[in-house]
Structure 1
Amino acid sequence: MTDPVSRLQLRHFRLIGAVAEHGQLSVAADHLAMTQPAASRTLAETERLIGAPLFERHAKGMRPTPVGEVMARHARLLLGGLDQAEAELGAFRAGRSGTVRVGAVTGAAVGFVVPAIRALKREANNPAVRVEVAPSVDLMDSLLNGDLDFVLSRVPRGVEVGRLEVLHGRVEHLALLARSGHPLLRETGLQLKDLAGCAWIAQKQGMPIREAIEQRHVIAGIDPPQDVIESSSLLMTLAYLHGSDAISPVAREVSDLLVGTGSGGVAELPMTERITLSPYHLIRQKRMPISPLAGRLLELVLERLTA
């Protein structure tokens, strides 16, 4: 018996992916430059070939059925692979050695991805490198959708860990930054209790850095920060620190970069307590091929993580 999936053509997968992404057949049709009747016929043909409905219709559009979820995930991987093949081919035609797409949380990007890219640039002929710096939830989505070759990320709850190859982990430490000239910089041996009443700018609740700060306050028997501006943008954080007496928690690698170069106009508070985050890991997707260039960058990152 012929496998029903093998009878699908690229146009079927493109429509599945577009409907899953946009949630409406009309929008998916516009995205694919199809008429809505043609999209309806193609979707009906796809469901007939699969032998099951792929989407449920509701008042606000369409959502995947359980079968549709499976097909949408594989459509994203297939189409992402085609996009990557096109990008690699374009890179070779332009005389470059290939393409690589990597994602990382901020501290890992500064501490390990940047030095590895510098080393890669010394080895390869004008490589095309794309770096996505984002929270772990977004990075993991991009990895599993085939948009990234590998990531330095935490594994969020609910992720199918069986799809992941975890290569190495690294514990992350925090530093607390304030503007140069902040009154607290005149003190020594600061503890969290000495920061009571300070304004903060930090990630939103539930994010690793914010959780680590709040947990350390609880362990110390003091109330977590109440006056908090929420932002994951480093540029926003620096701008806010410059014009206020707020403080901000950042990864140690970020603090070393900003304070060490003197380019951020900030300084590190002299804390006696070490604040540690849950570890992030070097992760790739199992059974997902990556380009030789991506494989080499992964090796360079791994060398630095294990050094």
Structure 2
Amino acid sequence: MSHDLAKLQLRHYRLIDAIASQGQLSVAAEVLAVSQPAASRMLAEVERTLGAPLFERHPKGMRPTPLGEVLARRARWLVSELDEAAAELAAFRAGRFGTVRIGAVTGAAVAIVAPAIRALGVERADTDIHVEVGPSGELMAALEAGELDFAVCRLAQGFDARTFELLDSHVEEVRLVVREGHPLPRHRVPLAALAGAGWVIQSSGTPMRAAMEAAYVAAGLAPPTEIVNTSSTLVTMALLAQSDLVAPVAREVAELIAGPGMPLRRLALDREIVISPYHLIRHRARPLTPLAARLMALVTERMTG
């Protein structure tokens, strides 16, 4: 098989990646700017070389076979690395020092990543930094695909911990945020007082949701039935400002969106609720550029400090 793989060219890997990500040969052909017959011949060439089918045809498109899944994952990594190299070369030619891509959950983005980026900006002005904020599952998928240099998130289910380095960790504290003028008091609010309130919260299965549901159960309360699921801080703020919903968020996020002069305010519960820690995570096989390594060091300083 290794000898057969040596026969494949970059265009073959790009085709495998495009079919796996798009799910249809015609769309993959459009992405690669080739005709569908040419893409079909190229795929047949690859499958003939490897002696096995890489995709199964079904009414809605194409899905990878088990062998195809393995090769598609490697193709995604190879294509991502080459695209990254092209981006770095373009940045160098444009006079920029380099590019770094980092992912973070919302609390970490506010408390850890933003200050680290500001510190990097003081040291080096010629940088191109991309920050992706989202749930840990999405960030881990991007990290595995080679689309991020590193991430500050949780090791989501379904990912092999042996593939990644889990470096420093940080525990998140939960705070509640409501609109200014909300009927609930500001301080020492018992959890039972929230029994009739609805939530604006991340979807089921996320650490924030799990921590709040566990707190309700521990207090002998049923979790709310009125729930708006969103991971968007902007949507959360808009919903809170127009209703009596309650949003559990990370402490750093609460300090940002419910500070002085904002239409939102914080509630102080009569108990502490914490979320499982997030980590600084990098892919073991992905080398870091000097710029990415420096930003990761600044993130480490803030996580340990």
Normalised by the size of structure 1, how large is the TM-score?
0.96
CA distance in 2, matches of 1:126, 1:185: 48
Does residue 281 (structure 1) correspond to residue 279 (structure 2)? The answer is: yes
CA distance in 1, matches of 2:261, 2:103: 24
Letter in 1 for 2:274: T
Aligned to 1:56, what secondary structure does the other structure show? strand
Name the structure 1 match of 2:237: 238
Offset of residue 97 of structure 1 = 1.0
Letter in 2 for 1:12: H
Name the structure 2 match of 1:256: 255
Aligned to 1:212, what secondary structure does the other structure show? helix
Name the structure 2 match of 1:140: 140
Name the structure 2 match of 1:31: 31
Name the structure 2 match of 1:128: 128
Contact 1:238/1:264 (<8 A) preserved: no
Contact 1:15/1:28 (<8 A) preserved: yes
Name the structure 2 match of 1:157: 157
Letter in 2 for 1:304: R
Does residue 42 (structure 1) correspond to residue 42 (structure 2)? The answer is: yes
Offset of residue 258 of structure 1 = 2.3
Does residue 210 (structure 1) correspond to residue 214 (structure 2)? The answer is: no
CA distance in 1, matches of 2:143, 2:100: 13
CA distance in 2, matches of 1:235, 1:2: 49
Name the structure 2 match of 1:95: 95
Greater alpha carbon shift after TM alignment, 139-148 vs 229-238: 229-238
Greater alpha carbon shift after TM alignment, 50-59 vs 138-147: 50-59
CA distance in 2, matches of 1:301, 1:6: 39
Offset of residue 209 of structure 1 = 1.0
Aligned to 1:3, what secondary structure does the other structure show? helix
Aligned to 1:78, what secondary structure does the other structure show? helix
In the alignment, structure 1 segments of 5+ residues that lack a partner are none
Aligned to 1:115, what secondary structure does the other structure show? helix
Offset of residue 51 of structure 1 = 2.4
Name the structure 2 match of 1:191: 190
Offset of residue 257 of structure 1 = 1.8
Identity of aligned residues (%): 53
Per-residue CA shift, 1:148-188, capped at 9, x if unaligned?
000011111111222111111111111000112222135x3
Contact 2:237/2:257 (<8 A) preserved: no
Name the structure 2 match of 1:306: 304
Letter in 1 for 2:288: I
What count of residue pairs does the alignment treat as equivalent? 305
Offset of residue 14 of structure 1 = 0.6
Letter in 2 for 1:60: K
Per-residue CA shift, 1:75-98, capped at 9, x if unaligned?
111110111111111111121110
Offset of residue 263 of structure 1 = 5.0
Aligned to 1:175, what secondary structure does the other structure show? strand
Per-residue CA shift, 1:54-76, capped at 9, x if unaligned?
11112221111111111101111
Does residue 297 (structure 1) correspond to residue 295 (structure 2)? The answer is: yes
Per-residue CA shift, 1:110-145, capped at 9, x if unaligned?
000000000111111320000000001100110000
Normalised by the size of structure 2, how large is the TM-score?
0.96
Contact 2:77/2:145 (<8 A) preserved: yes
Name the structure 2 match of 1:76: 76
Aligned to 2:244, what secondary structure does the other structure show? coil
RMSD, aligned CA:
1.4
